[in-house]
Chain A
Amino acid sequence: MNVQPVPGAERAALRDRRLVHRLQHGDAEALQQIYHRYKEDLLTVAMSLLGDTQEAEDCVHDVFVHFAEAPTDLRVNRSLRGYLVRCVANRARNVLQRRHLQPGPSIDEPESLDCPVRGSVASEESEQIFEALAQLPPEQREVITLHIHGQMRFREIAQQLELSINTVQSRYRYGIERLRTLL
């Protein structure tokens, strides 16, 4: 019998659907598997967008808590990874809006220099990249992050951000041009 191999993406999608199904039935192990599979991608997206390790962790934290709170509402049509990336991007956008409205550290915020070094870690090269990304206007940073780290197509980004595809592409192009001078 001639057995057709299942393409990798399809296999991954199938695996994700199974995990989501298990999660919808309250399987905590499925939640852990999903987290460990995508945490690095999601943290990287969050860090690229927010430029702050602690906020990136909080962002991923909030996304996963919300994800676990309403698993039965999940509608993962294409990829679970894409779904989670979009959630992180949305959450990060909200954080940035809040930050814009309330600039400066809050009173309750701990003095980071007094705290022991902890939290998620990035290599030296990664830190430079995140610093360069942080210098971009948020809208350019968002498009670059979603395209490169989120692996989203321009068309998907345009839908996600409710922009025209031309706008998305031009933001990307300007952002990359700027990064050429920064990296």
Chain B
Amino acid sequence: MKSARQVERIVGRARLRADPAADERILRDAGAALVKTTDNRPQASRPGPSFWRVIMESRITRYSVAATIVVAAALVLTNPFGFFASSHGIVLGDVAQKLSETRTVIHKQRRVVYRQGEDKPFFTGEVQNYFSTDRGMVEEQYDPNGALLYRICLPKEPQEVTILFPKVKKYVRVPAPKDLYEQLGKMIAPAGLVNYFTSGSYTKLGRSQRDGCEVEGFEATQFDLSWLPAHTKYLFPIQNLTARLFVDLRADLPVGAEIEVDADRGLMTYFQKVHVEIKTYDYQWNAVIPAGTFDPNIPADYTPINLGSLVPEKAAWLGVGALPLVGFVAYRRRGVRGWRAVY
């Protein structure tokens, strides 16, 4: 009789080999299942250039990501719906209540970027923002002469980000990460990420006049930025971040916000020290937003572009305009894998 060891060895020699017909059947059916699965998957997770990859493909979009880091902060801080719904019971309970009843807002923003130590900005952009909790968000950025530089459209459905560049009659359309809108929605909604931004201390700036209104100002300088991707310190090393918010005392609604960011030399700043100023103003709460505003409406003569070949370095700061979107994408995709992909 064989020993147990010998039996184990003999049993281990047993093999069953698939014949080509079995191979074909299994691979055919499994392949079909894979194709079906891939086709049914949300567009953002399909193979092919992802939103993130497109973003990282060029200087303009990479600048956007840098700006995003400013912006992710800025977005929330200037978020017209969110700031005051604090669980910390910040001052204005009435404001929070009003914001929760608000479905739309239009406001403007001015974005200025300086090299530190210089008085003259090297980039200035005027931005028009439209938000609707039901329909999506749109951002348009104009040059100092009023010409439209780009238009970003993120409708609630379909979940695609479309960016139009009228001057060159080009466009980019990429699938949005499936939860992008939801996350933006959270920020637009009163609750949002407010808790995070109001978790630090703030100071009252007192009352003043702003755009013809009597306002109460608040300033915060300490923010928990630990949620930013670890590589942020190399990409866009934030040194200082100051945010101010101004609330109309009569209407109990925000009428303006200011963000100032100093950043050290980093990959995204082209190794320059920069100072970024973002100001939001001219709020129109519960404004009637014209039908079609949230539609991408790509003109027939526009063609898709490769961002990398299009935009000069300076214009990369156009990407600052994309902050609310790109920043949030960066925020959502801050996993190590995503950031490694940059390099």
Binding site for B on A (CB under 8 A): 23, 25-28, 31-32, 35-36, 39-40, 43-44, 46-48, 53, 56-57, 60-61, 64-72, 118-123, 125-126, 129-130, 133, 144, 148-149, 176-177, 179-181, 183
Question: Closest 8 A-B residue pairs measured CB to CB?
Answer: A26-B38, A129-B14, A68-B34, A68-B33, A64-B30, A68-B30, A47-B16, A25-B47
- Interface of B, helix, strand, loop or mixed by DSSP: helix
Interface-central residue, B8, B13, B17, by most chain A CB under 10 Å:
B17
Residues of A within 8 A of B18 (CB): 39-40, 43, 57, 60, 120
A-B contact count (CB 8 A): 135
Grouping DSSP codes into helix (H, G, I), strand (E, B) and loop, the A interface class, with mixed when no group exceeds half, is: helix
A100-B271 Cα distance, complex, nearest whole Å:
71
Number of interface residues of B (CB under 8 A): 35
- 23 A-B pairs with CB atoms under 8 Å apart are A26-B46, A26-B47, A31-B27, A40-B15, A43-B17, A56-B16, A64-B27, A64-B29, A68-B31, A69-B36, A118-B21, A120-B19, A121-B17, A126-B14, A126-B16, A129-B14, A130-B14, A130-B16, A180-B2, A180-B7, A183-B2, A183-B10, A183-B11
Bound together, the chains give a CA A126 to CA B10 distance in angstroms of: 9
B4, B11, B23, B37: the one within 8 Å of A69 (CB): B37
Which of A70, A119, A176, A179 is B19 in contact with, Cβ under 8 Å?
A: A119
Q: Is B26 an interface residue (CB 8 A)?
A: yes
- The verdict on B336 contacting chain A, using a C-beta distance below 8 Å, is no
The distance from the CB of A95 to the nearest CB of chain B, in whole angstroms, is 15
Closest to A23 in B: B34
Chain A residue contacts of B47, Cβ below 8 A:
25-27
Q: Complex formed: what's the CA distance from A177 to B3 in Å?
A: 9
